[in-house]
Amino acid sequence: MISEDKLHKDIYDIISGQFLIPKENITAVLGPGDLDNWDSIGHLQLVRKLEQHFNVSFTVPDVMSFDTVKDIYDTIKKLLA
Amino acid sequence: MKSINSIDNFLRLPPFEIDENRKSNLFSAMMWKAYTFHYNNCPEFQLYCQKQHITPDKPAPALPQYPYLPVNIFKKHKLISVPENKIKNLLSSSATSGNVSTIYIDALTAKRQMLASSSITAAYLGNHRRPFLILDEDPLLSRSKNISARSAATRGILMFSDSEDYFIKNTTRGLVLDKNKLLRQLEVYENSREEICIFGFTYILYNYAIKFLKEKNITFNLSDKTKVVHIGGWKKLEREQISRKSFLNEIEMTLGIPKNNVLDFYGFTEQMGLVYINSGDSPKTVPLYAEIIIRDFQTLESVEEGKAGLIQILTPLPYSYPGISVLTDDVGRIIREGKDREGRWGTKFEIIGRAKKSEARGCGDIMSESMGKES
């Protein structure tokens, strides 16, 4: 079982790597559209990286519900529980 | 149903579960909100609407009375309803005539497009993601701010995919099919019985894959849950005298899947995000987020059910540009209202084709009469 701290750190690492932004600039309310490269393609690439890293599968409603970093965190936490 | 006060909440409602009576008031309220917003924020749209005496200080009109923008207007005018620095992407229509429509997309419109298209598509494909075999180029190869309609459509459907194989390469000789790769992957999925989706533009899917399989007399027996999704219309295939019936028959014959698993998507760049889907030979169903009106070729008056004319679509979806009521140059007819055989509510219609220049009196005339001057 992954700890909440580790889950948080890993998600921020993946977002930072995907969108090439410093981790300090990532907040819980950051979401698609806030960054130039967090467009539909960036969103899909992020989804794939998260699935691979955490070994989870998102449904279409999961992917659509990712309005913020917090949404991503909550969904993965639920899937790993 | 709880009270819906915003267009964004409206777009989160299920697309086919609300009957016509319940939809009517809700849709009218959302259209009037959208109309008022664009009237107040897009000067060219305001001018156009004032000339038609539909202004936000009056009661909301019935749907057929909303001013409509002829689809060609987006080729000649830059129409934006938000500050220009909010625009994230320029969406360009595919150009058969040389002129392209350019649509200005901000983050909210992009989000609404994604929400609407995924909800509508999920009603036909389900909520789970699956492998996609794509008869096109990989759209992830391009990250330009200018997105073609074809690329945008492919990006939209990828939400339903958990892995992709692409079989078309754009070379100096034109589009080329990787035949060996296609045969190999079809064999893999025939053996695994996995539920997959085969996706492509109608013309490319047929001419590069189905025709090839048919000519080589190669057949597969894919899982009966396999779906074929095609988009882009029939114009090119009709020129080659391929009927919809023979298209469906040949897919059934070569891939071994039922005709009802073949989904025909219709949509247009000027209202990207809205898709009108039919399975097999059934009519298309209009989702909650839009409504269709058919207009007479000459008088442009709305016509009754069953009569063919130009297709007009109303939707409150666009935010960054005023494309909420668009008269297309596609010809269609309303079949009926009510539920389809799978229980989806919404107006049923069919696309007949593209208006001939002689038929479509309206578009050029409306534009010159109503916009005053060209930008």
Q: What is the pLDDT of residue B365?
A: 45
Q: What is the pLDDT of residue B153?
A: 76
**Tell me: the pLDDT tens digits for A17-74?**
999 999 999 999 998 878 878 887 888 899 999 999 999 999 999 998 898 999 999 9
Token pair for residue B180?
A: 């060996």
Token pair for residue A68?
A: 């913020």
Instruction: Return the minimum-mean-pLDDT range out of B67-76, B195-204, B366-375.
Output: B366-375
Distance CA B318, CA A40 (A): 17
Distance CA B275, CA B199 (A): 15
Interface of B with A in 70-109 (CB under 8 A): 88-89, 107-108
Distance CA B280, CA B277 (A): 10
Q: Is residue B319 within 8 angstroms of chain A, CB to CB?
A: no
- DSSP per residue, B219-281: -----TT-EEEEES-SHHHHHTT--HHHHHHHHHHHH---GGGEEEEE--GGGTT--EEEETT
Q: What is the CATH number of domain B7-370?
A: 3.40.50.12780
Q: Is residue B364 pLDDT above 50, yes or no?
A: no
Nearest chain A residue to B88 by CA: give it. Answer: A36
Instruction: Give the number of domains in chain A.
Output: 1
Contacts of B10 (CB under 8 A, 6+ apart): B4, B26, B30, B288, B289, B316
Nearest chain B residue to A67 by CA: give it. Answer: B111
Q: What is the pLDDT of residue B167?
A: 95
Under the banding of pLDDT at 50, 70 and 90, the label for residue B3 is: low
pLDDT (average), residues B261-277: 93
Distance CA B295, CA B286 (A): 17
Task: Answer whether B129 sits within 8 Å of A37, measured CB to CB.
Answer: no
Q: Is residue B114 within 8 angstroms of chain A, CB to CB?
A: yes
CA-CA-CA-CA torsion sign (B206, B129, A19, B106): positive
pLDDT (average), residues B194-202: 95
How far apart are the CA of B141 and the nearest CA of chain A, in angstroms? 10
Interface of A with B in 14-33 (CB under 8 A): 32-33
How far apart are the CA of A17 and the nearest CA of chain B, in angstroms? 17
Q: Is residue B15 within 8 angstroms of chain A, CB to CB?
A: no
Listed residue (B361, B346, B370, B368) closest to B301, CA to CA: B361
To the nearest whole percent, how much of chain B has pLDDT over 70?
90
Q: What is the pLDDT of residue B278?
A: 94
Q: Is residue B368 pLDDT above 70, yes or no?
A: no
Instruction: Return the minimum-mean-pLDDT range out of B12-21, B77-86, B163-172.
Output: B163-172
pLDDT (average), residues B251-276: 94
Task: Answer whether A60 sits within 8 Å of B143, measured CB to CB.
Answer: no
Task: Answer whether A33 sits within 8 Å of B114, measured CB to CB.
Answer: no
For chain B, give every domain's residue range: 7-370
What ipTM goes with this model? 0.84
How far apart are the CA of B140 and the nearest CA of chain A, in angstroms? 7
Where do runs of H (alpha helix) occur along chain A? 4-19, 40-54, 60-65, 69-80
Token pair for residue B203?
A: 């013309």
Distance CA B161, CA B114 (A): 14
Token pair for residue B297?
A: 């070729």
Question: Bigger pLDDT: B363 or B353?
Answer: B353
Q: Is residue B1 pLDDT above 60, yes or no?
A: no
Instruction: Return the minimum-mean-pLDDT range out of A45-49, B24-28, B233-237.
Output: B233-237
Q: What is the pLDDT of residue B250?
A: 96
Question: Bigger pLDDT: B146 or A20?
Answer: A20
Tallying the residues shown for chain B, one arrives at 375
Q: Is residue B6 pLDDT above 80, yes or no?
A: yes
Chain B neighbors of A51, CB-CB under 8 A: 162
Q: Is residue B151 pLDDT above 80, yes or no?
A: no
Give the strand pairing for B161-166 and B146-148. Answer: unpaired
Under the banding of pLDDT at 50, 70 and 90, the label for residue B367 is: very low
To the nearest whole percent, how much of chain B has pLDDT over 90?
72
Task: Answer whether B118 sits within 8 Å of A59, measured CB to CB.
Answer: no
Q: What is the pLDDT of residue B363?
A: 43
CB atoms within 10 A of CB B187: 12
Q: What is the pLDDT of residue B361?
A: 46
Report which residue type is found at B159. M
In the three-class reduction of DSSP (H, G, I as helix; E, B as strand; rest coil), residue B103 is classed as strand
How far apart are the CA of A9 and the nearest CA of chain B, in angstroms? 25
Q: How far apart are the first and last CA of chain B?
A: 44
Let me know how many helices (H) and strands (E) chain B has, helices first: 12, 17
Domain extent, residue A14, equals 4-80
Residue with tokens 């009106």: B293
Q: What is the pLDDT of residue B227?
A: 97
Question: Bigger pLDDT: B101 or B326?
Answer: B326
In the three-class reduction of DSSP (H, G, I as helix; E, B as strand; rest coil), residue B187 is classed as helix
Task: Answer whether B114 sits within 8 Å of A40, measured CB to CB.
Answer: yes
How far apart are the CA of A3 and the nearest CA of chain B, in angstroms? 27
Q: Is residue B271 pLDDT above 70, yes or no?
A: yes
Which of B142, B148, B155 to mutate to probe the A interface, most A CBs <10 Å? B155
Task: Answer whether A58 sits within 8 Å of B114, measured CB to CB.
Answer: no
Distance CA A75, CA A70 (A): 9
DSSP letter assigned to residue B82: S
